[in-house]
């Protein structure tokens, strides 16, 4: 059965998924391959994930790939020496495989810096993605007003 990955339409008419694919192809090196692998792992972990692109600015006109499900799950960005996968609520997630290796000092986010030659522990990354989705869903349910019974 084929899985559909939703993508929000962007202002220029190109879907976020198309923009992310173009960005990955444009990297043309190990960073593109790594970001493509991270993307595949995220999609496998959470078929209902929505791909978006946020935070466009003159120094980064392509913006940042974002995966959302009941809120931001994580972002993925390529830098000169690494691919960074940042979990918006990473500080609240259990990380038994100790994938988080960056942004450890903050109260909210946690990140995984993947450098050239690093292996991606797909099962552990999928577990983090699923935990982030569960946290988003539980937070959204807790935040929604409850109707009083009559």
User: What percent of the chain lies above the pLDDT cut of 90?
Assistant: 70
How confident is the model at residue 100, as a pLDDT? 96
CATH number, domain at 125? 3.90.1150.200
Query: What CA–CA distance (Å, rounded) separates 150 from 67?
Result: 40
User: Residue 106 domain-assigned?
Assistant: yes
Q: Is 32 exposed, middle or buried (0-12, 13-18, 19+ CB in 10 A)?
A: middle
How confident is the model at residue 14, as a pLDDT? 83
User: Residue 83 domain-assigned?
Assistant: yes
Could you tell me which residue, 109 or 147, shows the higher pLDDT? Answer: 109
User: Residue 44 domain-assigned?
Assistant: yes
Could you tell me which residue, 150 or 136, shows the higher pLDDT? Answer: 136
How confident is the model at residue 142, as a pLDDT? 54
User: Residue 101 domain-assigned?
Assistant: yes
User: Residue 148 domain-assigned?
Assistant: no
User: Residue 90 domain-assigned?
Assistant: yes
Task: Quote the mean pLDDT of the chain.
Answer: 86
52-88, pLDDT tens digit by residue?
A: 999 888 887 888 999 999 999 999 999 999 999 999 9
Residue carrying structure tokens 């879907």: 15
Please name the residues in contact with 75: beta carbons below 8 A apart, sequence gap of 6 or more. Answer: 54, 64, 65, 66, 67, 84, 85, 86, 88
| Count: domains in the chain | 1
User: Residue 11 domain-assigned?
Assistant: yes
- Cα angle vertex 7, ends 70, 76, to 5°? 75
What domain range is 19 assigned to?
A: 6-142
How confident is the model at residue 141, as a pLDDT? 57
* Two tokens, residue 15: 């879907």
User: Residue 98 domain-assigned?
Assistant: yes
């Amino acid at each position: 059965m084929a899985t559909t990955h939703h993508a929000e339409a962007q202002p220029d008419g190109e879907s976020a998924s198309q923009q992310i694919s173009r960005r990955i192809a444009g990297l043309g090196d190990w960073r593109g391959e790594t970001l493509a692998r991270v993307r595949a792992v995220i999609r496998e972990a959470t078929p209902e994930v929505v791909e978006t692109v946020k935070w466009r600015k003159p120094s980064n006109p392509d913006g940042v790939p974002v995966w959302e499900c009941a809120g931001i799950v994580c972002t993925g960005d390529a830098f000169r020496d690494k691919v960074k996968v940042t979990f918006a609520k990473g500080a609240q997630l259990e990380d038994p495989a100790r994938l988080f290796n960056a942004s450890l000092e903050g109260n909210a986010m946690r990140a995984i810096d993947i450098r050239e030659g690093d292996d991606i522990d797909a099962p552990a990354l999928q577990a983090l993605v699923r935990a982030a989705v569960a946290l988003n869903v539980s937070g959204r349910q807790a935040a929604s007003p409850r109707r009083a019974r009559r």
